[in-house]
Structure formats: structure tokens, C-alpha cells
Amino acid sequence: MTDTTFEDLGLKQPVLTTLEEIGFVTPSPIQKEVIPLILSGADVVGQAQTGTGKTAAFGLPSIQLMKKSGEAQILVITPTRELAFQVADELYRLGKSRKLRVVTICGGKSYKNQIDAFNNGAEVLVATPGRMLDLLNSKRLPNFRPTTVVLDEADEMLNMGFLEDIQALFKFLPEKRQTLLFSATMPPAIQKLIREILETPVFVKTSPDRTAHADISQAYYLIQDTERDDAIIRLFEGQQMVKSIIFCKTRKEVDRLASLLINRGFRAKGLHGDMEQNQRQRVTQDFRTGQTNILVATDVAARGLNILDVSHVINYHIPCDAENYVHRIGRTGRAGQKGKAVSFVTPNELFKLMRFQKHSGGELMQNYIPSKKDVKEAQVSQLMEKITDQTLNEDVRETLLKHLKEKMDLEVLTCKLLSMVLSDSPINGPDEIGIRDNGTVKKAKKRDFRDDKNNRGGPRGKRPAFNNKRRRYSSK
């Protein structure tokens, strides 16, 4: 049985030529399912995790169905400005063969420039809900009649409070249209929205929760709350992390941790919602191109980041719920690549992380923060590899080595040179970081099991009361 090709899905030239030029070979599962449905004209609901190729899934067939009218025909709504710019860039790349004119409509940019771009022949608008509704309310986008409307990451838009904006926005759109909705999860609010704005949609689900992150190894480090900074520094000192995203709870924490890492010599930058738009774009671009290899971010700021070569996701603090945990770890292990997701947890947080892992699937392993001795051994090993691969310079052998041998023997010389190199990589913090008490893990597993048992059966909506005196759950 041969693999499905993009041509098998109904895509034609010159779209196929563009795909070949940009290196798309085999369609992803969501693309295989969705592209023929969109080409048939159906309304579609696609449930898939981030990083599965959703933009191409709706972009390729929508571009093929476009008519040469010189008017805006496609509207894509995204939850954040960062995602809007990324989707716009991807659609421009996918529509290269027909010189697709894509305009981003979002806050932080001039109204006049966006309106002028629309009036100058924009064919695709990628917008955030608030700015798009503002322009439609003020009637500054005359004759806007898109034939295809896409809601991307719909669950995140609702989490951010955009439901009313989306409902109001659709009142300005033509009834005769093709509507496509993509979401990682399908909570009741999304299902209600689907009934309101889609016409007999076809539902596609390609990534069951428990297999969505098969390429991501999940691990945790058990620590005291005061050890988080020492733990993060030690990890970067003792392990090879090509490109990492560190998730923090607050913007203030992002700034503080990014400054700490920079002061310790790491190529790090922060990303959060208080930053100016152009500053956030520079930070994202620097991380994408490798000028920085550590991104410290909040959940909202990192939502929609589509960077394929993220090797590690680190939860400086674990998130509030399982959905955010799934979205966070989905920043790595993309496009068939392997990734690692690690979390710092205190003993009181461990059972919560175990419940998140049940939601995401896969295995959750306990790791230990490297000791100073472990880091030294790793540094020596890395240095030996560099020395082994180093090409000999004959000038050094004939001049410098001869000169140094006259002052000290080769063993002392070698030790001094190695010490000099290793002194450039000091190891910070205490000798040991973290908790190695397996009893804590057993307690967390028991608590998780007990919660599972309590959640089975019983009257709906009734939660066990917490008895502070005995520190046990009771049914009173």
C-alpha cells in the first residue's frame, strides 16, 4: 500500500508545485482527512492538537478554491497576535505560486495601514477577534464578503474571553459561506458555538488525547519551592538543550527569570503580553533563527508558536489545568521529531502533575537534578570529545609546545590547560538540589488513586469537603 500524496487529496497545480518547492512530501493525518472535505465545499470541524499541520490543512484547499476577483475571500480568526502573524506567514508561503496577498488585522498596529492594505487588493485576512470586530462595527471594511471563514484554536479563543466577540463578528459575515473550525478540545461552549455558526458540519478527529504526544518524553524533578532557580541553572549547566521554552505563571516571573539566565551567560529572552508588539516579534524571530536558544514565556504569549526544532519544554511552575499542560508540552516533539517535557514540582504538586499526565497520555518519569560532581563529569566528557575532534596545528607543535615543555612536564601542562578551559564553566549552586525521597512519590500516587476512586459515582456536583484539622478529605 502506497502512502497518500497531496495529489491524491485533490490538490492541483500550481499548489502541488509550491508544496514541492517548500519541502512538503506526505500529508499529515489532519490534512488527509480535512483537505478533500474542504474541497467538496463542506463545513468542517477539525479536532487536532497544535503542531499537526492545521494551517496547511485549511489553507491549501481554501487557496485552491479562491477565484480571481481581487477581493478578500478568506478570513482566518486566531486568538493571539503572535499566532495571527505566524498563520499569515504560512498562508503567504503556501500561496506563493499565485502571489497570494495576505493581510494581518490585529491590535498593536496602525488602523490606517491595515485598512489601506485591505483596500489595495487583500485576498486573505488573518485577524484577532477584537480588532476585526472593531473594524466591522465601524464599517471601515466596505464590501467585505468572505467565502471561507476559519476559526483557528477556537477553544483558546473562548478561554481568553472572546466568545461574545466571535458571536457578534459572525453577524457581519454572509450567510452563504464555508465555515471551518479547528480546536484541540471540544468543551460544551465550543459545541454550542458550532451549532450556532456552522451548517451541518463534518466532524474530524485525528489525534486522540492519549496518543497526541507519543514523540514527547515527560519527566519531573521533585524539588523544594525555593530551589527552582538553582534547579533551572543546574539543568542548563549539566545537559545539552538545543532550544528550550521555559513556562512561567506570571509576566513578572518571566522578566526575573530571563534576567537571571542572561546574567549567568545563557542566550535567553522573555516573552509576555506586556511587551510591545514589535518587541515580541523580534524575540520570537531571534528564537526561531537560533540567535537565542532559551525562551522564557507565559502561556498566552507562547500560544500558537510554530517552531519545529524546540528540543525541551520546561515547566518552571506547572500550569493550573490539564489542558494548558497539553498545550505547553505540545511546543516540542513536532513534525515527527522527538522532544522532552520536564516539570519542576514540589511534593504537594506531584499528584496534580500525575493527573495532567493521565490527560496527555504517555509515561511520566522521575529524574534527578545533576549534582556538581555529575556536571563536572559531563563537562570533562564534552571536553574530551572536542579534543578528540580537534585538528592538529603543526605550528603549535613546533613552537608553543616546544617552548612550554622547557618550563614544565607534559602532565602538569595538560592539567593546567584543562583546568583553564573548565574554569570558564563554573558550576553554581549547592552540591545537591532536589528531593530524592521515594516516599513522596508513593504518597502522591495514593492520593491520585484516592481522588479517582472518590470521583467515580456519587451525586453530581457534590465535592468532598476538606477537613483542615485532620488534613483529610471527608464526605460531610
Q: HEC string of the chain?
A: CCCCCCCCCCCCCCHHHHHHHHCCCCCCHHHHHHHHHHHCCCCEEEECCCCCCHHHHHHHHHHHHCCCCCCCCEEEECCCHHHHHHHHHHHHHHCHHHCCCEEEECCCCCHHHHHHHHHCCCCEEEECHHHHHHHHHCCCCCCCCCCEEEECCHHHHHHCCCHHHHHHHHCCCCCCCEEEEEECCCCHHHHHHHHHHCCCCEEEECCCHHHCCCCEEEEEEECCHHHHHHHHHHHHHHCCCCCEEEECCCHHHHHHHHHHHHHCCCCEEEECCCCCHHHHHHHHHHHHHCCCCEEEECHHHHCCCCCCCCCEEEECCCCCCHHHHHHHHCCCCCCCCCEEEEEEECCCCHHHHHHHHHHHCCCEEEECCCCHHHHHHHHHHHHHHHHHHCCCCHHHHHHHHHHHHCCCCHHHHHHHHHHHHHCCCCCCCCCCCCCCCHHHHHHHHHHHHHHHHHHCCCCCCCCCEEECCCCEEECC
Mean pLDDT of 350-371: 85
Tell me the whole-structure pTM to 2 decimals. 0.59
Residue type at position 134: D
Quick one: cell of 315? 515547566
Residues of the chain with pLDDT > 90: what percent? 42
Mean pLDDT of the residues in the chain? 82
At 464, the pLDDT band (50, 70, 90 cuts) reads very low
| Whole-number pLDDT of residue 33 | 94
| Whole-number pLDDT of residue 313 | 95
Cα→Cα distances 346→36, 78, 257, 381, Å? 48, 35, 19, 31
Q: Is the pLDDT of residue 452 over 80?
A: no
Domain ranges of the chain: 15-207, 211-369, 372-422
Peptide bond preceding 14: is omega within 30 degrees of 0, i.e. cis? yes
At 397, the pLDDT band (50, 70, 90 cuts) reads low
At 421, the pLDDT band (50, 70, 90 cuts) reads low
At 441, the pLDDT band (50, 70, 90 cuts) reads low
Higher pLDDT, 57 or 405: 57
At 82, the pLDDT band (50, 70, 90 cuts) reads confident
| Region 15-207: CATH code | 3.40.50.300
Query: Residue 287 and residue 307: Cα distance in Å, rounded?
Result: 9
| Whole-number pLDDT of residue 422 | 60
Task: Give tens-digit pLDDT for 283-326.
Answer: 988 998 999 999 999 887 776 677 878 999 999 999 887 777 88
Cα→Cα distances 98→8, 16, 94, Å? 21, 12, 9
HSE, side-chain direction, 13 A CA sphere, residue 164: 2
- Domain formed by 211-369, architecture: 3-Layer(aba) Sandwich (3.40)
Query: Residue 111 and residue 117: Cα distance in Å, rounded?
Result: 10
Q: Is the pLDDT of residue 97 over 60?
A: yes
Q: Is the pLDDT of residue 472 over 70?
A: no
